[in-house]
Structure 1
Amino acid sequence: MIKRLIAVMLLLVAAPPALGLDRPRDFVPPPPSMIPNFREQTRDVVIELGTYAKKRNPAFQVLMRGGSELLVKGELEMEWDDLHDPTGANFIKRPPLRSVFRPLVKVLDGIVMDGLYCGPYAFDKPLDEVIKARNELDAELAAERKRGIHRPPVAVEMGPFSNDPAEELRKYNDLKQKQARAEIQRRETYALDAIRSEGRNVLAVEMCDKPAEREAAYKSAIRDKVTPYAKIGTGPLDETPRAHPAFENAREILTVAHARNWLPVLRSDKFGTKGKFIEAIAETNYDIVLVDVAHRSAELLVKADVQRLKYKKLGPRRLVFAVMPLGRAYDWRWYWMKGWEVGNPAFLYALDETPGTFVTDMGSGEWRGMLGKYLAGIMDLGFDGVMFDDVGTYLWFEDLMPLGG
């Protein structure tokens, strides 16, 4: 209910000021042994929220956007384990490298991936082939390690390339970008393999340069059994780009697994009044629609609004999800209070690059309490599910506090 959402604001009005971080450059990292496992913090928040939602309503569905590194244990968490257990006393209790965090998968109905088919990190092969090739390479690397050969999981190309310093720098930057792309794809491949192997669903957000690229993205998504949304150009998800969505159908959709398309509209400023916004979304035939709980991030939706969105223009039932940012807070969202700034409340950890955006402390009990009430309010309004957004801020903290010092 609206009352529950408003209660979130009241809960935090009296939050005392605390030391905050205006800019990352002002920060002196703690010793490596004192650095938290930021992935585990975020994972715990998603599990806690998802468990609450599933216990309250088993039919409620949960999506997570991004967070590839949360699903499968990677090298950094292995390093964190070694740092905090140098004698290996708890070695046998540690999840091994590449193990899937099943308590997290258990609360998810699917993940949302950005740029699988369009953009700088797009895959150029079918996902089945990508996953198979990665698994084969990892098996080869594991066999080599047993023989004392240690190759990195992503190949590193070496120079020099030219006697011209400018050309050398250009090629160095090109190789650096190429390696970063390969590493991001590697992590996403593990996540895709894990989530698909556990019978969960994959949705995609694609921002394509040209109509032909968008159509190719739709075809590739269907081939890979991915539920796609694709638009032309970059920018916020704030429009209904197609009068008739790709793979439009008259079927009733009650689970993410049955959806063939979806529409994320995270900003509704372009639509005028709340009534016009609700009507514009209601006049579509998407299988899933994703919206904010508040029109223009200020005017909260009511149960009747959510109910209106639950039916396609053609008539059959569909799913309505609410977006819920976890790792960032925004000064334009409905919950923002006058006087809030970095460090006040304490969970506003630092300013992000985008004006009006703040990185939040996922280890803060106060922030977790607010998120719990936020989710309860979403469920009170009758939404069919939630998409946890801004999950990947653990990477921001890892850059700020590297284990290597």
Structure 2
Amino acid sequence: MKNYTLMLIIFLLSVSCKNGDSAKLNLMNNPPPTGRDFKQDMRDFVIGISKYAKAENKNFAIVPQNGIELVTANGDSQAPPSTTYLDAIDANGQEDLLYGYDNDDQATPTATVTYLKSLLNISKNAGKKIFVTDYCSAVSKMSNSYAKNKEAGYISFAANQRDLNNIPSFPNPIYQANGNNISNINEAQNFLYLINPDKFSSKSQFIDAVKATNYDLIIMDLFFNDKAFTSAEIAQLKTKANGGKRLVISYMSIGEAEDYRYYWKTDWKKNKPLWLDSENPNWKGNYKVHYWENDWQKIIYGNSTSYLQKILDANFDGVYLDIIDGFEYYEH
């Protein structure tokens, strides 16, 4: 009787998989983890990415976006700095500092601004550049974003589209435009965040539009409609319209998997890898990941077919790491 019961259970589980219920099996085999230091897991991930990249190009810039709590030992602004993490990065990106935290074109609550700045300043005081992306479209608010961030010692990009799919017409000329040659991320006085090329009909149109600007730093995606930019194409973008040299860095999400990326396998939604978690309800096609798992990290870096290696091979000057705050999902 016991053997029959066991066989029945195995059969039912097999049928469940075939019917697309493998997500339930995934949960049984890999329940939500407990007892981990999720902040340290993310620090270690970023540090590993940094070591790999800088071994190939010592000047390659590592810029985590959000998750600023990682700059201290426990995430509290009163705690000692996390020097190993700070030594591994070259700058920090921060969204919604002054505008966009609750809604686009809406001022971020004062308490939130104060909290974020208390941690951002730890990184700034350690010699790291702070790149702020505020989401606002009213000219007065865009102007305020540039002025207030400069006052705080940060560099601002006032994005009038949350999708980051355009080159804003304001301000013109761009804020703090200059003809300097930018060879280090700390020299940048402005930046363009343009990771969604859906308004451009071709690679060449995208390249021509960016070439016509004087931004010191371009943050863009490695891919245009699933086709990677080549080293030669990236080289075209490294000169400003005024002749000065600039940096071009690539966006890469490491805290979520994206089902529109080259690495995505079509059967993952039915037969989920153990590291693949729930879909982000706010961003269709993006899935939470157990970012500390080796199989996910191997997709991101550490080998010749990894995402980071593709970015290095395309001759980008750095990487802009997103969903660094993925630890929050597992801490709550």
Q: Normalising to structure 2: TM-score of the pair?
A: 0.83
1:237-248, aligned counterparts within 5 Å? 237-242=164-169, 244-248=173-177
Evaluate the alpha carbon distance shift between residue 29 and residue 345 of structure 1 in structure 2; reply closer, same or farther with a 3 A threshold: closer
Residue identity in the other structure for 2:231 = K
Evaluate the alpha carbon distance shift between residue 346 and residue 37 of structure 1 in structure 2; reply closer, same or farther with a 3 A threshold: same
Offset of residue 311 of structure 1: 0.6
Offset of residue 338 of structure 1: 2.0
- Distance in 1, Cα, partners of 2:75 & 2:90: 26
Offset of residue 364 of structure 1: 1.0
Q: 1 or 2 for the larger relative contact order (CA 8 Å, sep ≥6)? A: 1
Evaluate the alpha carbon distance shift between residue 216 and residue 381 of structure 1 in structure 2; reply closer, same or farther with a 3 A threshold: same
- Distance in 2, Cα, partners of 1:73 & 1:342: 39
Please state if 1:101 is matched with 2:82.
Answer: yes
- Distance in 1, Cα, partners of 2:251 & 2:93: 12
Residue identity in the other structure for 1:288 = L
Q: Deviations over 1:197-249 (max 9, x none)?
A: 211111110112411011111111222221111023x5211111136321111
1:155-170, aligned counterparts within 5 Å? none
Please state if 1:111 is matched with 2:92.
Answer: yes
How many pairs does the alignment contain? 300
The 8 Å contact of residues 208 and 231 in structure 1, kept in 2 or not, is answered as: yes
Offset of residue 75 of structure 1: 7.0
The 8 Å contact of residues 342 and 351 in structure 1, kept in 2 or not, is answered as: no
Please state if 1:294 is matched with 2:223.
Answer: yes
Residue identity in the other structure for 2:149 = A
- Distance in 1, Cα, partners of 2:46 & 2:92: 12
* Equivalent residue number for residue 162 of structure 2: 235
Q: Normalising to structure 1: TM-score of the pair?
A: 0.68
- Distance in 2, Cα, partners of 1:304 & 1:267: 20
Evaluate the alpha carbon distance shift between residue 199 and residue 337 of structure 1 in structure 2; reply closer, same or farther with a 3 A threshold: same
Secondary structure (helix, strand or coil) at the match of 1:393 reads helix
Evaluate the alpha carbon distance shift between residue 21 and residue 299 of structure 1 in structure 2; reply closer, same or farther with a 3 A threshold: farther
Aligned with residue 349 of structure 1, among 261, 274, 277 = 277
Q: Unaligned regions of 5+ residues in structure 1, if any?
A: 1-16, 77-95, 123-176, 400-405
1:159-308, aligned counterparts within 5 Å? 182=111, 184-185=112-113, 187-232=115-160, 234-242=161-169, 244-296=173-225, 298-308=226-236
Secondary structure (helix, strand or coil) at the match of 2:135 reads strand
Offset of residue 344 of structure 1: 2.2
Please state if 1:57 is matched with 2:57.
Answer: yes
* Equivalent residue number for residue 396 of structure 1: 329
- Distance in 1, Cα, partners of 2:242 & 2:268: 45
Evaluate the alpha carbon distance shift between residue 327 and residue 75 of structure 1 in structure 2; reply closer, same or farther with a 3 A threshold: closer
Residue identity in the other structure for 1:391 = I
Q: Unaligned regions of 5+ residues in structure 2, if any?
A: 1-19
* Equivalent residue number for residue 5 of structure 2: none
The 8 Å contact of residues 62 and 108 in structure 1, kept in 2 or not, is answered as: yes
Evaluate the alpha carbon distance shift between residue 45 and residue 120 of structure 1 in structure 2; reply closer, same or farther with a 3 A threshold: closer
